Structure formats: C-alpha cells, structure tokens
C-alpha cells in the first residue's frame, strides 16, 4: 500500500494546519502521544504483534542530534515503549551509514512472531524482547507495504531505487528477500517498461503481486500494476484516464479484499467541479476504487459531491483497509467539519454505500498515516502530528495513536492467510489460554498455545479454503478473512 512521502507530509502540514473540531463521539479515544523523548512523527500504520501490543515506527528519534527514528510498541492502555532507537549507534553498532526507520512501510508480522521492516537503507527484523537484526543493507527508499509470497520469501518495492533513470532520480525496483535472508533484485522499474516509482505491494490470490505507483509515475496521476514472483511487470490501469480525472488520480493505498478484487483510494480526482478545502493544488477530492485482477476499474465513491463549501464526509483519502465485517474502512486528510477541515474516518461497502463514521476534532491530531484493525475488533489510527505534546526541541505536534470502536466483534487473524497442507502457521487474537480446538473450514487442526494472544498450528490434511476458528473458554472466534489452501 502507498503511504506518505516526506514531500507530501511537508506540503500537507503547510496547507492544512488548521484547528480541528468535529462531532463528539464516545467511540474515539486518544491513547498515546509522542513527545520527542519517546520518538516523534509516527510514519505508518501500526501492526499487531504476538503479545497483543501494537508496533510501529517513527521518523524522528529520541536523540535530536542524530534524528533517525524509532521502533515502538504500545499496549492496550496506550503505554509506549521504545524498542529500538536508530540514532543509538552504540546499541546497534551502526556507524557505517545506517539511515534508520525513515521510510513509510508498516511492520510485517512473520509466522515466527518477529516483525519485519524496510526502513532507511536496510531490511530488518525486530522481536518483542527488543532483539534487532539487519537482514539486508542497501535498499532504496520504500513507501509501501512489504508482503510475504506463497514461496515464503518477502517481497517489496523500492520507490526510489534500481537502475532506471527518471529525470534525475531512480525509477524504483522490485525485490525479494528469500527465507535465508538473501536479497534478489527482480526488476528495475523504468527499464524496458513504462512503470515508475512503485509504492508497496499486495499479494493477489493468483500468487502475483499488485501495486500502485506514486504521483511521480504516469505524468503525475499514478498507475496500478502487476508483478510476478519472477519480476515481470504488467501495467493494469493508468489513473486519470477518464475526462477530468473522474476515475481518480494519485493513488495512496491498495489492498486485496477477501473477495479477490483490489481496492484502494486516490488522493486526487473524482468530482472535477470541486477543489478540496485547504488543498488548493488539488484538482478535486479523491475516490475509493475497485480494480479486478484483470484491470477492470470501478469508482466506488467520489468524495465531495455535497453542494456546501466544505465536505462533511471528508476529502483527500490516504489509507484503506478491509474490516472484519467485509466493508472497507479508511481515513481522509481534509474537510469533515466546517470549522476545522481536518479529516474523517469513513466506511464504504464494496457496492459503494458510504458512511462517515467520525470527524476529527481539535484534540485528535492531524494528518493520518494509517489505520489498523486489531483482533479485539477496535480500529487503531496513527496521526503524524498531534496536539498538546511538547517535543524536546520545542516543537509541538509530535503525533498520536488513537482507537476507534465501530462496534465490531473480536476475531482471530492468521499470520499467514494462505498455505499448503501440513504447512506451519500462527494465529494472533485473545483469550487463547484454555483453548480447546482450532479448525480450518471445519477440519480440526493440532495447535500449541504459546500465550493468551498467540498460538501455532499446522494446516491439516483435508483442509479446504474457508474461515479458521479457535474455540476458547468464552466462545468461538472466527478469522477475519478466509484462509486459502494452496494445492
């Protein structure tokens, strides 16, 4: 998925730094504030770990003389723990050009319970007990998700890397890290293809990878593409192909839904008659879109169809995920309230029914950079800037993490939601102590409870594609998406 680039953050800060006031709601809660001593300016969505805590990165660290960012953990009460301070060269023994967690890639939970990241110029692993290991050095800048492939390798995209020449910058590269930790360059974007500046990957049900390019690609409008595990590229869709960019432009997020289709948001485009409030450079206010694996494109929602000056539903969306109810949830960067224009949380079904769930208020932070649903059913969001927190260097607005309750029930999540028969896997959730059964679409599986929030299992013989269930002392928990059995 695409996330925030530094240049976009700077522009958004300058153009959108206005007070935020929205409708009060019991379901929204600010949990944690960064203050410079515990890091500042969180850079992407948080990821749930095997211990139930949420993990993420910041772009600024705790030593302002060498600001390289941090890796942090947050418990359910909002207590922040700094796991790794990238500025601390003595701790990490990196005195030879280590750049830190300055990229915008969410951490990826591996089946062994470790978290993987692509930050600065390295691909790394960190565990909940603060063990840190660099797996590979020399990555280009990355702006989107890394993802595990069906072969067990981790695949990613460097937004600015590779050997392609895109007018003074590299065009990007696709790569994989195999299970032994070896880096393999798969493809140079912009070399023998008209695709440039990728921003993250999503795994398709066909085993291929799907991604979007940033606004630097395709004349500033962006593209959607397919990459095979061997690195072959196919352009699926050029954004702003319709008159007045009615189909959207500048994609910022791409996921695969449980129905096998791709879904995402565009920061620009949609309703050509509107200019987003506070973002005068934008032609219009963004879209939510659907895209089949063959390239059939549908606009599910175009923001700002309202006649008033501001858009109560929000505008300029920047993140999208699928909730456990099968609907799509996301955040917008602007509008929402007539007095603050500081964004919203929204829900849209896959047939286009749109609902604004929350308008951000003055104390809720600004400039969302990610949204995650934990297995408790709660959503957790990250704001790059947050109010009322004084940073070490005298600056304010160091960032916050919030929770949002949309009324969804607890569930379990497979760490790897695909696999072959007899392949090992792990499940995260809650209430596992005393669990009596795990089943793959009704087929019983052996399992080992590691903790109340983490268990290991194997895909049983006879299993078929479908939901995974865990029977706990308090009831049966179902996986948020079907597990796909690979034959």
> What pLDDT score was predicted for residue 1?
41
Predicted confidence band of residue 70 (pLDDT cuts 50, 70, 90): confident
322 located within any domain: no
- pLDDT for 191 beyond 70: yes
pTM: 0.90
Tell me if 65 is assigned to some domain: yes
Residue 236: Cβ within 10 Å count:
20
Average pLDDT, integer, range 65-80: 84
Residues 6+ apart with CB under 8 A from 415: 109, 110, 111, 425, 426, 427, 428
**DSSP letters of 436-476?**
-EEEETTEEE-EEEEETTEEEEEPPTT--SB-EEEEETTEE
Q: Are residues 112 and 258 in the same domain?
A: yes
Q: How far apart are the first and last CA of the chain?
A: 28
Region of residue 412 (left: phi > 0; alpha: psi -120 to 50; beta: else): beta
CA distance 55 to 39: 13
Is there a domain that residue 314 lies in? no
Do residues 175 and 147 both lie within one domain? Answer: yes
Residue 311 pLDDT: 84
Q: Is residue 348 part of a domain?
A: no
Q: What is the CA radius of gyration of the chain?
A: 21
Look at residues 339, 367, 401 and tell me which one is the last residue of a structural domain: 401
Residue 441, pLDDT above cutoff 90: yes
pLDDT at 50 over 90: yes
> Could you say which of 345, 368, 401 is where a domain stops?
401
The beta strand positions in 386-436, using DSSP E, are: 400-404, 413-414, 418-419, 424-428
Q: What domain range includes position 156?
A: 6-19+33-279+288-302+387-401
Within-domain flag for 365: no
Q: Is residue 27 part of a domain?
A: no
Whether residue 369 lies inside any domain: the answer is no
User: 436 and 397 share a domain?
Assistant: no
Which CATH number is 450's domain given? Answer: 2.60.40.10
Cα separation, 429 vs 424, in Å, equals 17
Task: Examine the domain organization and report whether 88 and 170 are in the same domain.
Answer: yes
Last residue of a domain, one of 401, 432, 458: 401
- CA distances (Å), origin 467, targets 101, 105, 124: 35, 28, 31
How many domains does the chain divide into? 2
Task: Return the percentage of the chain with pLDDT > 90, whole number.
Answer: 54
For residue 373, list its beta bridge partners: 379
- The candidate with the shortest Cα–Cα distance to 200, out of 79, 118, 96, is 118
Average pLDDT of the chain to the nearest whole number: 84
Please write the tens of the pLDDT for every residue from 124-170: 898 888 888 888 887 777 777 899 999 999 999 988 878 888 876 78
């Amino acid at each position: 998925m695409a996330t925030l680039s530094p240049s976009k953050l700077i522009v958004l800060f300058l153009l959108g730094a206005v007070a935020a006031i929205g409708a009060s709601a019991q379901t929204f809660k600010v949990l944690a504030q960064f203050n410079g001593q515990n890091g500042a300016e969180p850079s992407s969505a948080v990821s749930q770990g095997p211990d139930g805590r949420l993990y993420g990165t910041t772009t600024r660290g705790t030593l302002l003389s060498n600001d390289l960012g941090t890796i942090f953990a947050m418990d359910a009460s909002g207590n922040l723990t700094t796991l790794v301070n990238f500025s601390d060269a003595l701790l990490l023994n990196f005195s030879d050009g280590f750049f830190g967690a300055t990229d915008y890639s969410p951490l990826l939970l591996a089946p062994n319970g470790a978290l993987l990241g692509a930050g600065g110029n390295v691909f790394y692993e960190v565990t909940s007990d603060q063990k840190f290991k660099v797996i590979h050095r020399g990555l280009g800048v990355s702006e989107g998700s890394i993802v595990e492939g069906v072969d067990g390798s981790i695949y990613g995209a460097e937004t600015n890397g590779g050997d392609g020449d895109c007018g003074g910058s590299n065009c990007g590269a696709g790569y994989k890290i195999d299970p032994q930790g070896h880096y393999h360059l798969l493809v140079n974007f912009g070399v023998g293809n008209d695709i440039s500046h990728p921003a993250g990957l999503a795994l398709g049900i066909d085993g291929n990878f799907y991604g979007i390019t940033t606004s630097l690609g395709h004349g500033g409008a962006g593209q959607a593409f397919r990459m095979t595990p061997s690195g072959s590229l196919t352009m699926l869709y050029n954004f702003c192909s319709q008159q007045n960019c009615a189909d959207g432009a500048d994609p910022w997020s791409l996921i695969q839904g449980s129905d096998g289709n791709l879904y995402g948001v565009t920061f620009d485009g949609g309703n050509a008659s509107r200019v987003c409030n506070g973002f005068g450079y934008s032609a219009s206010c963004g879209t939510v879109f659907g895209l089949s694996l063959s390239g059939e494109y549908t606009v599910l929602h175009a923001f700002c169809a309202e006649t008033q000056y501001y858009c109560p539903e929000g505008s300029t969306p920047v993140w999208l995920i699928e909730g456990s109810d099968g609907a799509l949830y996301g955040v917008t960067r602007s509008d929402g309230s007539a007095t603050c224009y500081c964004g919203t949380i929204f829900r849209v079904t896959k047939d286009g029914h749109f609902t604004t769930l929350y308008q951000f208020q003055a104390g809720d932070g600004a400039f969302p950079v990610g949204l995650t649903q934990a297995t408790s059913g709660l959503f957790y969001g990250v704001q790059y800037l947050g109010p009322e927190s004084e940073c070490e260097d005298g600056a304010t607005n160091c960032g916050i993490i919030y929770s949002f309750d949309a009324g969804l029930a607890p569930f379990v999540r497979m760490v790897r939601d695909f696999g072959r028969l007899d392949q090992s896997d792990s499940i995260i959730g809650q209430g596992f102590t005393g669990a009596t059964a795990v089943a793959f679409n009704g087929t019983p599986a052996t399992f080992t409870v590691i903790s109340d929030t983490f268990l290991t299992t194997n895909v049983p013989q006879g299993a078929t594609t479908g939901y995974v269930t865990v029977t706990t002392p308090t009831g049966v928990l179902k996986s948020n998406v079907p597990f796909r059995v690979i034959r």
